[in-house]
Amino acid sequence: MDYILNLITRYPALECVKDDVKLAVDSLYERVVRDEAKILICGNGGSAADAGHIAGELNKGFLKKRAIVGTGSNARQTEDCLRMQKVPPEIRDALQSRLQYGIPALSLCEMSAALSATINDNGADFMYAQLVQSLGHEGDFFIGISTSGNAKNVLYAAWTAYSKNLTTIALTGKDGGALARMCDIAIKVPETETYKIQELHLPVYHAICAELEERIFSR
């Protein structure tokens, strides 16, 4: 199934973001498969919940089971399969029957100890930027979610990601704000009220997760 086409069919108002959604998926697919890039995600309030939701859909099977046996899509996964053969049989059988290949994604919003330490020592504006500084590497991805596009802590994290040569993706409302203007890819859903923006963010990121999974794990 073409999940991007399905998205537009179900939500015609999102026709305006179709090309940007496809660009995000194309970029993620190439780098996750080729370079094992990881994805760092953050937002505030409802957008923080969305960050966790995205990470959850990517880290295990979403619409596919993603069996770990015989599904290695790059050299590292192939090596993992070979090393699994050295695990004691009873443990190996349990792992192979239950574990699924994941797309490495991390919600920065859920690292409470690190976040509270940064907030206490340096201020809330730097809470996500510090984690990007620690965890981000060249070739990784940063997804910043902000309905206004102007959340300072998300914006500082995006600029930190830029400084470390991560590909930056903004998920915002219609205006886009400063975040959309500085990111490599900006998905600006056509609403201006916070709750309406968030209602459109969910089908957008579900389509991204589903399409990425389809491309990687249908081979």
- The yes-or-no verdict on residue 37 having pLDDT over 90 is yes
N-term to C-term CA, the chain:
14
List the beta bridge partners of residue 188.
172
pTM above 0.85, yes or no: yes
How far apart CA 159 and CA 153 sit, in angstroms, is 10
Position 78 scores a pLDDT of: 63
Percent over 70 (pLDDT), the chain: 94
pLDDT tens, position by position, 197-216: 999 999 999 999 999 999 99
How far apart CA 174 and CA 81 sit, in angstroms, is 45
pLDDT tens, position by position, 113-154: 999 999 999 999 999 999 999 999 999 999 999 999 999 999
Q: List the chain domain ranges.
A: 3-64+102-217, 67-101
User: Residues 6 or more apart from 40 whose CB is under 8 A from it?
Assistant: 105, 106, 108, 131, 132, 135, 136, 140, 141, 142, 143, 161, 166
Burial of residue 207 (number of CB atoms within 10 Å: 0-12, 13-18, 19+): buried
More confidently predicted of 67 and 119: 119
Mean pLDDT (whole number) for 48-55: 98
Q: How big is the chain, counted in residues?
A: 219
Domain 3-64+102-217, classified CATH 3.40.50.10490, yes or no? yes
- The yes-or-no verdict on residue 89 having pLDDT over 50 is yes
- The yes-or-no verdict on residue 45 having pLDDT over 60 is yes
Using alpha carbons, list the distances in angstroms from residue 22 to 16, 126, 165, 210.
12, 31, 21, 12
